[in-house]
Structure 1
Amino acid sequence: MSETKVMALREAINLAMTEEMRKDEDIYLMGEDVGIYGGDFGTSVGMLAEFGEKRVRDTPISEAAIAGSAIGAAITGLRPIIDLTFMDFITIALDAIVNNGAKNNYMFGGGLKTPVTFRVASGAGIGSAAQHSQSLEAWLAHIPGIKVVAPGTANDAKGLLKSSIRDNNIVLFMEPKSLYGKKEEVTLDPDFYIPLGKGEIKREGTDITLVSYGRMLERALQAAEEVAADGISVEVVDPRTLVPLDKEMIFDSVKKTGRLILVNDAHKTGGYIGEIASLVAESEVFDYLDHPIVRIAGEDVPIPYARVLEQAVIPSVEKIKEAIYKVANKE
Structure 2
Amino acid sequence: MIDGIYILANDVVYDQLVALLNSMEANAGRKIPICIIPYNEQLDKVKAEIASRDNVTLFEDSVSIAYWDNFATQVWKNHSRAQKTWRKWGLPELYRLPMHRKLCGLDGPFDKFIYFDADTLLMGPIDYIYEKLDKYDWVTNDFQYKSELKYIFDGSPELIQQIFDQEKLHSHIFCAGWFATKKHIFSQATLANLLDKLQASEADVMALGGPDQSLFNYMVLRSGISYYNFAFHDCEQATGNHWSSQFNVVDNILYDQGRRLTYLHYMSISSPHFTQLCAGEDVDIPYRDIFLHYRYLNSPEQRPKSFRRESPLMRLQKTTTSFFNRKVNNIKLNYRNLKDKMTN
Q: TM-score, normalised by structure 1?
A: 0.25
Q: Which has the higher contact order (CA 8 A, sep 6+)?
A: 2
Q: Which has the higher strand share?
A: 1
The TM-score normalised by the length of structure 2 is 0.24
Which has the greater radius of gyration? 2
Answer 1 or 2: which has greater helix percent. 2
